[in-house]
């Protein structure tokens, strides 16, 4: 077997692996971990069994594939994202609430002070589409709590749980769902280490949440 076959096959395998991992839908951290381990193992194989030029060539191919798919993933994310105003935001929420069939909606206040809404893949049922309500005069936390009350009820314990996390500096991701229109809505809070409460200068004054978050 010629010595160049190892780097050629390895480079091709890595290029395909980036594509597979990107299309798998795994999170960024898992993708980075999997590809880092894969690169380390394959580069070691090339270093042991391949020619001296094999490692730098495979490394360049891997880097090019990584940059290509990173740019592609960023482009896909931007294509799924749409900025909306408060009226359109509430209209999207209303469409979720009134739609038939299984429904899932996620709402979260980002560190920037914007509110992220993930809901409904076409005009009538945009699943996987992401919408952003940019910081404005409305308190973003009040907007999230409004969804808790509207979907789950004013007395749902998730409201108190949400405020407890806010007081600890964690902006949890609210998920509400129902299997069908005959079933009741259920909700839970997802934790992500990057979901932090935005600083005071990135959110408007609020008589409800300012005392909770330490702003007089």
Query: Would you state the pLDDT for residue 161?
Result: 93
Assess whether 50 and 129 both reside in one domain.
no
Assess whether 168 and 66 both reside in one domain.
no
The H or E element spanning position 163 is helix 157-167
Query: Would you state the pLDDT for residue 29?
Result: 75
Query: Would you state the pLDDT for residue 32?
Result: 81
- Tell whether the model's pLDDT for residue 127 goes beyond 60: no
Q: Could you tell me which of 151, 147, 149, 144 has the C-alpha nearest to residue 197?
A: 144
Query: Would you state the pLDDT for residue 191?
Result: 76
Assess whether 112 and 76 both reside in one domain.
no
State the Cα–Cα distance between residues 11 and 87, nearest whole angstrom: 50
Residues 10-35, mean pLDDT to the nearest whole number = 80
Name the CA radius of gyration of the chain, rounded: 23
Assess whether 175 and 71 both reside in one domain.
no
State the Cα–Cα distance between residues 64 and 14, nearest whole angstrom: 11
What are the beta bridge partners of residue 189? 174
Strands (DSSP E) contained in 40-182 are: 81-84, 103-109, 115-119, 129-133, 173-178
Among the candidates 64, 80, 96, a domain finishes at: 80
At residue 34 the predicted structure's pLDDT band, cuts being 50, 70 and 90, is: confident
* pLDDT tens-digit series, residues 42-101: 888 888 888 888 888 888 888 888 888 788 777 776 666 678 888 888 888 888 787 776
Assess whether 109 and 201 both reside in one domain.
yes
Assess whether 107 and 53 both reside in one domain.
no
Query: Would you state the pLDDT for residue 109?
Result: 92
Assess whether 72 and 174 both reside in one domain.
no
At residue 139 the predicted structure's pLDDT band, cuts being 50, 70 and 90, is: very high
Among the candidates 80, 114, 145, a domain finishes at: 80
pTM exceeds 0.85 for this model: no
Write out the residue range of the structural domain in which residue 57 sits.
5-80
Assess whether 12 and 118 both reside in one domain.
no
Assess whether 49 and 98 both reside in one domain.
no
* pLDDT tens-digit series, residues 150-202: 889 988 999 999 999 999 888 998 988 888 778 888 999 987 656 788 888 88
Assess whether 168 and 203 both reside in one domain.
yes
- Tell whether the model's pLDDT for residue 4 goes beyond 80: no
Among the candidates 36, 53, 80, a domain finishes at: 80
Assess whether 36 and 93 both reside in one domain.
no
At residue 144 the predicted structure's pLDDT band, cuts being 50, 70 and 90, is: very high
Q: How many domains does the chain have?
A: 2
Assess whether 42 and 97 both reside in one domain.
no
State the Cα–Cα distance between residues 168 and 47, nearest whole angstrom: 49
Query: Would you state the pLDDT for residue 44?
Result: 85
């Amino acid at each position: 077997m010629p010595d160049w076959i190892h780097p050629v096959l390895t480079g091709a395998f890595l290029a395909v692996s980036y594509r597979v991992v990107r299309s798998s839908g795994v999170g960024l951290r898992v993708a980075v971990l999997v590809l880092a381990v894969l690169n380390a193992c394959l580069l070691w194989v090339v270093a042991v069994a391949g020619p001296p030029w094999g490692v730098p060539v495979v490394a360049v191919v891997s880097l090019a594939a990584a940059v290509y798919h990173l740019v592609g993933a960023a482009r896909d994310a931007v294509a799924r994202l749409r900025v909306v105003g408060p009226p359109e935001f509430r209209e999207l929420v209303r469409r979720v609430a009134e739609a038939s069939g299984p429904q899932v909606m996620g709402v979260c206040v980002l560190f920037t002070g914007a509110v992220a809404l993930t809901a409904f893949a076409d005009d009538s049922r945009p699943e996987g589409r992401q919408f952003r309500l940019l910081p404005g005069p409305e308190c973003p936390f009040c907007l999230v709590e409004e969804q808790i009350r509207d979907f789950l009820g004013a007395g749902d314990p998730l409201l108190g749980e949400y405020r407890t996390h806010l007081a600890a500096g964690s902006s949890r991701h609210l998920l509400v769902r129902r299997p069908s229109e005959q079933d009741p809505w259920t909700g839970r809070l997802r934790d992500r280490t990057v979901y932090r409460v935005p600083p005071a200068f990135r959110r408007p004054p609020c008589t409800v949440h300012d005392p909770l978050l330490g702003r007089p």
